[in-house]
Amino acid sequence: MIRLAIALLGLVALALVPLFVSEYELGLMIGMATYVALASAWALFSGQTNYISLATVAFYGTGAYTVAVLNESLPYPAVLLCAALIGAGMALLVGLSTLRLSGIYFVIFTFGLAELVRQLITWYEVSITGTLGRYIFLDLTARDIYWQMLALAAVAIGLTAWINRTRLGLALRAIGDDEVVAAHSGIHLARTKLIAFTLSATLITLVGAVASPRWVYVEPLIVFNPTVSFLTVIMALLGGANRLWGPLVGAVPLFLLFEWLSVNFPDTYPIFLGLLFIAVVFVLPNGLLAGLDDLRARFGRRGK
Amino acid sequence: MTLLHVDTVSRSFGGLKAVDQVSFEMESGTILGLLGPNGSGKTTLLNLISGFLAPSSGRIIFNGRNLAGARVDKIARAGIARTFQLVRILPSLTLLENVMLPAVFGHRAHWGKEAERVAREALEKTGLTDRAGASAGDLNYIDQKRLELARALAAEPELLLLDEWLAGLNPTELQEGIRLIESLSGSGITIIMVEHIMEAVRALCPRCAVMNAGRLIADGETSAVLSDKAVIAAYLGDAEDA
Ligand SMILES: Nc1ncnc2c1ncn2[C@@H]1O[C@H](COP(=O)(O)OP(=O)(O)O)[C@@H](O)[C@H]1O
Ligand SMILES: [Mg+2]
């Protein structure tokens, strides 16, 4: 109860931030909220089940592209609804065909998926509509976008918290540990994974849709940038993908770090990305939050 | 009442017939010892019953329904639970959560207080109550075995499959284990136990079946089966085709 109150207070405080910051700082806040939402939504499926998905940008880009295609013909809420439905439909399709894959095969398939979607859209735009880039003219201010993104991040974390208390959450954690035991306990593996994957992917699609007006000009190479998928994974893993607040704890500092690196070292920054990935996996395999718990346990024991 | 009817079930791996035309029936509430040398197909037979593997042919009728080849979770919900020869626990979950799983998703599908009650009862039976909140990954081997049995019990199964559950216990633990299985059997659960420890088989199983090279070579009253020539030959290893 107290935790919920603190979380809600924090949310209100964050919602008031745009009233006090510059345009540039607001841009940073939007970026941060975007990655908190992405990493939390990603962890909703991958964090519990240990199925590492690199399909994040496939859904994120699809959300952005949906807005680019529909923004002139439908009212904004309807555009978002379409994006959510397309994301969910795509997730069901992908889920049904891939969730029987395990380990590395799943990772590679999801990585390939983003590339496949990008190529399909490029092909469609070039050979059917004859245009490659599209413009997004929406009457949305940076504040509007920030608030929407903040809401999405809150929904991603809130939904995860809720799922953790349900049968679905217990089933997902069991699947993450040992699918054979999970199935022998009566858990319908395919259905459980499909539900969580679809929820996660739908949220990610919405993040892409909400973020898209910031670009104004959109083309496949921009919105299907694989770095988004990798960043999301690193952020969630850094904080602890199986913790409620882990993705947030990882996303905020890493987003700021990468902003700073990409401004100051635009050419070498992918190297840092790679190094960081390796460092996270080796030094903090269970994430910062678990690392802190370990430290606390060690010092607690020493204190006695 | 016949609870389980295994009807000419076979399973091959490539050219190897791991289970070859096995048939037997079990009455509800009985206990069957399943014996046989290593590699004779005992674990494979349990795998076919629990759905971990699908039979190449044959029927497995449980409570009047043919479950041969059905999905594992469906078979679990129908009321069949098992332990694994190589222990499998969920290391990042607590003991209570491990045991909650089948209570929640299994045969009776409880939720909330009732699921927790069933889970705690299973931990109690296996002597794990005081560690309910501990992480299962921290348990030693014997306690992991107990946890596995607790998990199977929390499913409230009608049929329990034990794959060498007593193996690796010290003499005191073995006596405890035998008493525990005895009390389970007394409570009406039907049990198939794969076991090498003859002392346990004699104490617990009025009926025994013996496998050799995938075939069921004997099935009957335990002392008669154990003195059967073909069975003795199989254990001595010189029975090519009994
Ligand atoms: N998944 C599998 N793939 C290939 N061969 C298997 C598999 N499982 C079991 N076998 C083979 O089937 C035979 C029976 O094995 P198993 O049922 O484990 O015997 P038991 O439990 O009686 O020792 C063995 O020869 C074993 O190597
Ligand atoms: Mg075996």
| A127 is a domain residue | yes
Q: Are A185 and B106 in contact (CB under 8 A)?
A: yes
Query: Of the candidates A174, A176, A188, which has its C-beta nearest B101's C-beta?
Result: A174
| A181 is a domain residue | yes
Nearest to B167 by CA among B42, B19, B26, B29: B42
ipTM of the complex: 0.93
* Mean predicted confidence (pLDDT) in A123-127: 86
The Cβ of residue A295 has, within 10 Å, a number of other Cβ atoms equal to: 10
* Domain-wise residue ranges, chain B: 1-79+158-242, 82-156
Residues of chain A whose C-beta is under 8 A from some C-beta in B? 167, 170-171, 173-174, 176-178, 180-189, 242
CA-CA distance, A7 to A153, in Å (whole number)? Answer: 12
Question: Which atom of ligand 1 is least distant from the CA of B36?
Answer: 22
What is the number of domains present in chain A? Answer: 1
At residue A303, the pLDDT reads 47
Kindly tell me the burial class for residue A260, based on how many C-beta atoms sit within 10 Å of its own C-beta (0-12, 13-18, 19 or more).
Answer: exposed
Q: pLDDT digits over A189-214, tens only?
A: 999 999 999 999 999 999 999 999 98
The ligand placed nearest to the CA atom of residue B18 is: 1
The Cβ of residue B67 has, within 10 Å, a number of other Cβ atoms equal to: 20
Percentages helix, strand, coil for chain A (3-state, rounded to 5) are: 80, 0, 20
CA-CA distance, B167 to A258, in Å (whole number)? Answer: 55
Quote the crossing angle between the two packed helices A288-303 and A227-239, to the nearest 10°: 20
At residue B241, the pLDDT reads 47
- B 51-90 near A (Cβ less than 8 A): 52, 71-73, 76-77, 81-82, 88-90
Of the listed ranges A93-102, A144-153, B19-28, B184-193, the one predicted with least confidence: A93-102
Torsion of CA A28, A32, A38, A44, to 10 degrees: -170
At residue B147, the pLDDT reads 96
Name every chain B residue with its beta carbon within 8 A of the beta carbon of A177: 90-93
Question: The tokens 């809600």 sit on which residue?
Answer: A8
CA-CA distance, B172 to B135, in Å (whole number)? Answer: 25
For residue B129, how far is its CA from the centre of ligand 2 (angstroms)?
29
| A241 is a domain residue | no
Give the residue, by CA position, lying nearest to ligand 1 atom 18: B43
Least CA distance to A175: which residue of chain B?
A: B90
Give the residue, by CA position, lying nearest to ligand 1 atom 24: B39
3-state class (DSSP) for residue B29 = coil
At residue B228, the pLDDT reads 87
Give the residue, by CA position, lying nearest to ligand 1 atom 5: B13
Mutate to test the pocket of ligand 1, among B44, B196, B210 (most ligand atoms within 8 A of CB): B44
Query: Looking at CA atoms only, how far is residue A165 from chain B in angstroms?
Result: 10
Q: Cα–Cα distances in Å, from B65 out to A33, B31, B70, B144, B155? A: 53, 21, 11, 33, 19
Tokens of B129: 């109550």
Q: Does B178 touch chain A (CB under 8 A)?
A: no
Q: Are A65 and A121 in contact (CB under 8 A)?
A: yes
Nearest to B11 by CA among B165, B203, B169, B211: B211
pLDDT-based confidence at residue A91 (cuts at 50, 70, 90): very high
* Mean predicted confidence (pLDDT) in A51-72: 93
Q: Cα–Cα distances in Å, from A266 out to A31, A32, A223, A271? A: 18, 19, 19, 10
Entry pTM: 0.91
Average pLDDT in chain A: 90
At residue A125, the pLDDT reads 85
Question: The tokens 């939050």 sit on which residue?
Answer: A289
Residues touching ligand 1 (Cβ under 6 Å) are: B 13, 16, 18, 36, 38-44
Hey, which residues does B191 pair with through a beta bridge? B31, B160
Percentages helix, strand, coil for chain B (3-state, rounded to 5) are: 40, 25, 35
| A9 is a domain residue | yes
Output b/e per residue, A189-208; b: 16+ Cβ within 10 A. beebbbbbbbbbbbbbbbbb
Rounded to the nearest angstrom, the gap between the alpha carbon of residue B28 and the centroid of all alpha carbons in its chain is 15
The ligand placed nearest to the CA atom of residue B54 is: 1
Of the listed ranges A43-57, A123-137, B180-194, the one predicted with least confidence: A123-137
For residue B46, how far is its CA from the centre of ligand 2 (angstroms)?
9
Mutate to test the pocket of ligand 1, among B9, B12, B13 (most ligand atoms within 8 A of CB): B13
At residue B237, the pLDDT reads 64
Mutate which: B77, B92, B97, vs A, most A CBs within 10 A: B92
At residue B70, the pLDDT reads 95
pLDDT-based confidence at residue A86 (cuts at 50, 70, 90): very high
Contact (CB<8Å) B88/A187: no
- Terminal Cα distance for chain B, rounded: 31
Give the residue, by CA position, lying nearest to ligand 1 atom 8: B44
Q: pLDDT digits over A232-254, tens only?
A: 999 999 888 889 999 999 999 99
Q: Which residues of chain B have pLDDT under 50?
A: 239-242
Least CA distance to A179: which residue of chain B?
A: B90
Q: What class has domain B1-79+158-242?
A: alpha beta
Write phi, then psi, for A5 (nearest 5 degrees): -60, -45
Contacts (Cβ under 8 Å, ≥6 apart) of A235? A35, A38, A39, A247, A250, A251, A254, A255
Hey, which residues does B209 pair with through a beta bridge? B34, B219
For residue A160, how far is its CA from the centre of ligand 1 (angstroms)?
41
Boundaries of domain holding A58: 2-225
Contact (CB<8Å) B107/A186: yes
Output b/e per residue, A50-61; b: 16+ Cβ within 10 A. bbbbbbbbbbbb
Question: The tokens 């059917």 sit on which residue?
Answer: A128
pLDDT-based confidence at residue A301 (cuts at 50, 70, 90): low
Query: Of the candidates B50, B92, B104, which has its C-beta nearest A184's C-beta?
Result: B50
